[in-house]
């Protein structure tokens, strides 16, 4: 098991937090007010904004390990094609994260002024 401060620990914690959100909102009534949708969208946008930096740092770590000769393929494949494919995957993941951020920004913008009568009764 990794150390509590290891990068994988933090990634697992983030994944578990998203799972908790998904479970907590299985029932649409979990969002009591339209503003709850907005604030959740803002929080998800903040999360997605941080993904590109983490992905860049994954790439930098791979590059450092490769430059130091600290990587070999345990399945016998050639290293260079695997590194190239990993870097390509990181580029795609970064573009996808930025696209997700833009979509969540749009969602947040469109829900920012949505409200409900107070108190919210009968599922507005």
Q: Which whole-number Å values give the CA distances from 45 to 9, 71, 92, 97, in the listed order?
A: 21, 34, 18, 10
Query: 117 pLDDT exceeds 70?
Result: yes
Tens digit of each residue's pLDDT (9 = 90 or more) over 45-67: 999 999 999 999 999 999 999 99
Query: 81 pLDDT exceeds 60?
Result: yes
pLDDT for residue 116: 79
Tens digit of each residue's pLDDT (9 = 90 or more) over 29-41: 999 988 999 999 9
Structure-token pair, residue 110:
């469109």
At 2, the pLDDT band (50, 70, 90 cuts) reads: low
E-strand ranges in the chain read none
Which pTM does this prediction carry?
0.83
Structure-token pair, residue 98:
């930025």
């Amino acid at each position: 098991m990794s150390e509590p401060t290891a990068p994988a620990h933090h990634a697992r914690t983030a994944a578990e937090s998203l799972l908790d959100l998904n479970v907590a909102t299985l029932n649409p009534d979990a969002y009591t007010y339209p503003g709850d949708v907005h604030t959740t969208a803002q929080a998800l946008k903040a999360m997605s904004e941080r993904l590109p930096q983490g992905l860049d740092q994954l790439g930098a770590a791979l590059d450092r390990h490769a430059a130091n000769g600290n990587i070999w393929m345990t399945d016998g494949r050639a290293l260079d094609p695997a590194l190239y494919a990993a870097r390509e995957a990181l580029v795609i993941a970064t573009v996808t994260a930025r696209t997700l951020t833009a979509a969540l920004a749009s969602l947040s913008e469109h829900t920012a002024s949505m409200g409900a009568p107070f108190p919210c009764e009968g599922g507005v």
